[in-house]
């Protein structure tokens, strides 16, 4: 299974990604801002989603809003 970012670049376990669009998160006190770097990502069983820590909270993010850093 291949996981690709918004530009079509292949993502691997442990990569760093950058958010390309500001995202609101339900139940989280702050938003994820455009340009924020998320390090050490984990791949999920779904090719359009990854897991990453944002402000010490593990979130599942859609790859369409990310690009490889």
CATH architecture of 3-68: Roll (2.30)
Q: Where are the domains of the chain?
A: 3-68
Largest CA distance in the chain: 34
Residue ranges of alpha helices (H) inside the chain are none
Answer whether 69's CB lies under 8 Å from 8's CB: no
Taking only the tens place, the pLDDT of each residue in 6-64 is 999 999 999 999 999 999 999 888 899 999 999 999 999 999 999 999 989 999 999 99
Q: What is the DSSP letter of 41?
A: -
Q: What is the pTM of this model?
A: 0.89
């Amino acid at each position: 299974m291949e996981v690709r970012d918004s530009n079509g670049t292949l993502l691997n376990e442990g990569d760093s990604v950058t958010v390309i669009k500001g995202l609101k998160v339900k139940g989280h006190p702050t938003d994820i801002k455009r340009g924020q770097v998320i390090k050490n990502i984990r791949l999920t069983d779904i090719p359009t989603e990854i897991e990453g820590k944002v402000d010490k909270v593990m979130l599942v993010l859609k790859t369409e809003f990310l690009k490889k850093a």
